[in-house]
Amino acid sequence: MSETQRTRPRILFVSANESAPWGPSETNWALAAAHWLRDGAEIHASVKGWDETPGELADLEKAGCVVHRRWDHPPYDLRPCYELPWSERRLSTLEAVRPDFVVVSQGDNYEGLGWLEECRRRGYPYVAYSNSASEYEWLTDDVAERLASAYNSALASFFVSESNRELTERQVGARIPNGRVVRCHFKVDYDAAPPWPAEDTPVRLACLARLDPNSKGHDVLFDVLARPKWRERPLTVSVFGSGEYEGVLRALVSRLGLDSVEFAGYTKDIEEVWRTHHGLVLCSRAEGLPTVIIEAMLCGRPVIVSDVAGNAELLTDGDTGFVAAGPVADCLDEALERAWQRRPDWPAIGARAAVAVRRQMPRDPIALLVDQFKELAG
């Protein structure tokens, strides 16, 4: 069939992430791709090649998505992460696919710059989708100017929180008039209502996050738990997740002598976590809007979080959760203390959180995201 005879839209999802085989940012674009595939589109995806195929990507491929893997990464290719991959400069996926519409997914808010510019240079309509932003990662003037131009040439620029959108505008030094805030997926039933844990003592908090202190701030949490008052209180923290920093985090817990911390590994059954835990604690340094906050609130649990990126956008401090002013020990200690003093109110706080999050989160955010993509794709 010739290009002029095509009736199905041909869509290319580009995962600009090259730091890990899979993560929350990949889940967002993969779910959108699967949804659009079921609706009849021809779906392609460009991803970095890894020795093992992540399960989610394998499922997408089995469903009919054509996956283009970027394998060539010579050791002399010392490009910044935001420049176009060497393999793409050698053999263009864009030209091989010739898509009607391109979604460039970024784990942060800048790593897809090379892809955005290449779409514009070759004339393919595109959108940018950013999953996170960091207050301590700024770009030099020339790169920031390029990024601002690339965002503004997109049909739309999507961010998972209002704070991410505002921070990105600060970091590129310009408004992004086509910016849109969208909500990401979550892994519990929208109507989830796990019962409150039967035992109130000890108080059991859960920290659900990949084991990466750079962005998730586990070390801050451990420093707070090492303070004398928290050592004496009936409190345990279950650390759920996996990652390349597990060894050093276990060593830190051992060095601090923390009997209150247990490493619980990675779990897919989030609702089960909230059947045995009373609340979420998360002291992020960089974020988008963590799905674990959405999930905890949907399950009727109070959350204690740092005021970073979108962490506090769904919360009212003291009413549906507790917000630490920043990802530092004194701030987290203050918020955790306020929460501790109101332990009898936690079931009621969690119930209000469950109502509040459903006012702000759609039942199927991925379907709404794909609807926006379709509208932009024409």
Mean pLDDT by 10 residues, the chain (378 residues): 70 93 89 97 96 94 97 69 90 96 96 98 98 92 98 98 96 97 94 92 94 95 98 97 95 97 95 97 92 97 94 94 96 98 97 97 96 96
Locate 325 and state its tokens. Answer: 């002013």
The answer to whether position 192 is within a domain reads: no
Rounded CA separation 48/118 (Å): 17
369 and 356, same structural domain?
no
93 and 240, same structural domain?
no
pLDDT at 89: 87
236 and 248, same structural domain?
yes
Domain that holds residue 271: 203-360
Q: Which residues contact 69 (CB under 8 A, 6 or more apart)?
A: 47, 48, 49
The answer to whether position 195 is within a domain reads: no
- Between the alpha carbon of residue 277 and those of residues 26, 27, 239, the distances in Å are 28, 25, 12
CB 331: neighbour CB atoms within 10 A?
A: 18
67 and 166, same structural domain?
yes
158 and 61, same structural domain?
yes
pLDDT at 5: 55
Rounded CA separation 76/260 (Å): 46
84 and 35, same structural domain?
yes
Locate 78 and state its tokens. Answer: 């010392």
pLDDT at 2: 52
The answer to whether position 56 is within a domain reads: yes
143 and 95, same structural domain?
yes
> Could you tell me the sign of the dihedral formed by the alpha carbons of 308, 309, 310, 313, in that order?
positive
347 and 216, same structural domain?
yes
> In 273-309, which positions are buried (b, 16+ CB within 10 angstroms) versus exposed (e)?
bbeebbbbbbbbbbbbbbbbbbbbbbbbbbbbbbbbb
pLDDT at 295: 98
The answer to whether position 191 is within a domain reads: no
The answer to whether position 31 is within a domain reads: yes
Helices (H), 138-245: 141-153, 162-172, 213-216, 218-225, 228-232
The answer to whether position 260 is within a domain reads: yes
pLDDT at 198: 87
Torsion of CA 25, 273, 252, 259, to 10 degrees: 170
pLDDT at 20: 84
Locate 354 and state its tokens. Answer: 């469950």
> In 350-372, which positions are buried (b, 16+ CB within 10 angstroms) versus exposed (e)?
bbbbbebbeeebeeebbeebbeb
pLDDT at 200: 80
345 and 371, same structural domain?
no
The length of the chain, given as a count of residues: 378
Rounded CA separation 191/363 (Å): 9
88 and 67, same structural domain?
yes
Domain count along the chain: 2
119 and 227, same structural domain?
no
161 and 18, same structural domain?
yes
For residue 210, give the CATH number of its domain.
3.40.50.2000
